[in-house]
Structure 1
Amino acid sequence: MTKPRVFIPHRISEKALSLLAEHCELDYRDVEEMLDEEAFFAGLQEACGLMVYSRHKITPDVLDRAPRLRIVSNVAVGYDNLDLRELTARGIMATNTPDVLTETTADLTFALLMATARRIAEADRFVKAGEWNEWLPSLMLGKDVHGAVIGIIGMGRIGEAVARRAKGFGMRILYHNRTRKTEAEQSLDAAYVSLDDLLRRSDYVVVMTPLTPETVGFIGKRELGLMKQDAILINTSRGKVVDEQALIDALMEQRIGGAGLDVFATEPVQKGNPLLSMKNVVTLPHIGSATRETREKMALKAARNMIAGLAGEKPENLLNPAVFSH
């Protein structure tokens, strides 16, 4: 029996490759960089399955080049790169990899919060540049994390994991979500509040909401204007959830205290972006899930989703169940 063909246009873990090879014929490209358009489209021609990271935008034009495609397995928890409506209309399954990156991304989020609060990156550059000539009482004064108020916008799996870390630091936890999480309120001593109340009261505002048409620019000029003047904004969700120009303006006009960003409206971030030259902004290259252990778990979960879908079974992390029900 002929094995279904799976196109993987980028490097993934050996364990995931081995697992897939047991069930599928692989068209695998062992490269870190994105393939050029011609090579990518050529790989789609015979593919029954496609495994991609979220940097690949799966649009109608891409799908037009993949006449045999039955499933797209996203190696990511976010799936704003997938046109779910179009995939569903064409009867193509789509999956993601939740759960396995929750704790790792929460680690990074809290590390980014602490680095911004205590000016870690700025202080590192200061020492390495040879500028530390004497100790002064006012040298690199930061902002306390313990006992402060953290406001989490989006209390999903990762939001709750961030809240657990905040509780360990004795922080007062506020959250805003589409629905209340009563269990989280009890276990984390978290308070459900309106978005405006959260913005006004928080010392640290952590954006954890997924990117959807409704959340594009969700944190804009009005919302930033409600924050405390010394408050810090942390975003490890998606860049476009925050109105980037509004954030730049708020920082330049000193209407908020700083920002820690793992994501940007355009990625990779453009070299002339004003955020890159601001001392009170810590910038990271979208590395929320970037540990060896977690990336391997993500690849294995994506592989299992792929194998199930191509075998006619319902994948564990199916994003458009309407396709399978038909």
Structure 2
Amino acid sequence: MAEQSDGILIAHNPGGKEREIFMEVLGPHARVTFLGDLAQAERKKTIASSRILLSWSPLKEFVPDEFPALEGVRFIQFVTAGVDHVPFHLLPASSLVAGNSGAYAEPMAEHVLAMSLALLKRLLINHRKLKGGEFDQKTHNRMLRGLECGILGYGGIGKAVARVMRTLGMGISALNTSGRTDDPVEFIGTLSDLEPFLRRADLVVVSLPLTRHTRGLLGERQLSWMKSDAILINVARGAILDEEALYRRLRAYPQFMAGIDTWWIEPAMHGEFRVNHPFFDLPNFLGSPHNSPIVPGNMLHATRMASENVLRFLRGESVRGQVSREDYA
């Protein structure tokens, strides 16, 4: 257990209820300081005395000459699930780093289900037809039951998706880093099994982190392995999927469908939203504005999960969501 002198620094600016959660979970075990409460003259000294850091986006929370003061930090817990935005070269090389794995999984799994059903049931296509006066009652919809859901990235989000899809009668295949799972699946493998995984799946859900190994993972060749009437849902990161290759696949195979929640150019990272191909003119495409985890109470839940992971570290227990900085070099 940590001493009270082992300071915990909250670097982002949480809301009032989130601050209460941080104090409830961590306050009894260590000194908790909110960086935004400090006067400018106090910042460097407090940063230097901190041993645990909770952060959302370091480049927005610290000025350049404050990063060296983080040298004494032993554990860095991100409130975000993904850490592809993290400047690892500016953080202490010896510190343990964890993402907030699974914190947003349940609403994201529902979002995957909603997108899958909307595409499979041709809801947007039929809505547009009705708007144009066409009453198409003959074209068949499809059911999820009996199809196979391939989950590319079987972590917190992937497992939540599997639970939802399994209840609807789908078989589950999955890829993770170990190629092992205790869950009931039709197939489990690693990225080395990507081709047979893509060839067998009717619905492919991308839910793995963006790393140097997964950037550009799904290009023209990989998409060609998929069934011509498969559905692809991406709730991970846009850069995992080649934008032009996806557009060409959708144009060439009208029965192939895609639902995109995470984009190649987004306001949070790039200052604007932009696509380089006219996806929204395609009837077999559905988009949402990277809002799959945005539901009431989501930040309170994520804050509690991040806090409880810090508590695991303080108690000397294994932490959830540990990441390897080499994957992001």
- TM > 0.5 fold call: yes
Counterpart-to-counterpart distance in 1, 2:55 and 2:11: 7
Query: How much has 1:137 moved relative to structure 2?
Result: 1.7
Residue of structure 1 in register with 2:186 after alignment: 190
Q: Is the 8 A contact 1:151 1:198 kept in 2?
A: yes
Query: How much has 1:77 moved relative to structure 2?
Result: 1.8
Q: Is the 8 A contact 2:151 2:206 kept in 1?
A: yes
Counterpart-to-counterpart distance in 2, 1:14 and 1:126: 47
Whichever residue aligns with residue 275 of structure 1, its letter is F
Superposition pairs for residues 1-326 of structure 1, below 5 Å? 6=9, 8-10=11-13, 12-20=14-22, 22=27, 23-28=31-36, 47=47, 48=50, 51-53=54-56, 56=57, 58=59, 64-69=65-70, 70=73, 72-84=76-88, 86-89=90-93, 91-123=94-126, 131=131, 133=133, 135-138=135-138, 142-184=141-183, 188-192=184-188, 194-254=193-253, 257-268=256-267, 269-270=273-274, 273-304=277-308, 316-317=319-320, 319=322
What's the RMSD between the two structures over aligned residues? 3.7
Q: Deviations over 1:272-296 (max 9, x none)?
A: 6522333321111222322223321
The range that moved more, 174-183 or 146-155, is 174-183
Q: Deviations over 1:152-199 (max 9, x none)?
A: 222223222222222222223222333223422xxx242236321222
Query: How much has 1:313 moved relative to structure 2?
Result: 7.2
SS of the residue corresponding to residue 217 of structure 1 reads coil
Percent of paired sites with the same residue:
26
Q: Is the 8 A contact 2:79 2:306 kept in 1?
A: yes
Query: How much has 1:225 moved relative to structure 2?
Result: 1.0
Q: Deviations over 1:218-264 (max 9, x none)?
A: 11110111112111111111211111221122112227611011111
Query: How much has 1:207 moved relative to structure 2?
Result: 1.4
The range that moved more, 227-236 or 188-197, is 188-197
Q: Is the 8 A contact 2:260 2:286 kept in 1?
A: yes
Counterpart-to-counterpart distance in 2, 1:303 and 1:199: 37
TM-score w.r.t. structure 2 length?
0.74
Q: Is the 8 A contact 1:3 1:25 kept in 2?
A: no
Counterpart-to-counterpart distance in 1, 2:207 and 2:122: 22
Q: Is the 8 A contact 2:150 2:203 kept in 1?
A: yes
SS of the residue corresponding to residue 292 of structure 1 reads coil
Counterpart-to-counterpart distance in 1, 2:199 and 2:318: 42
Call closer, same or farther: CA 1:92–1:282 in 2, change over 3 Å: same
What is the aligned length?
298
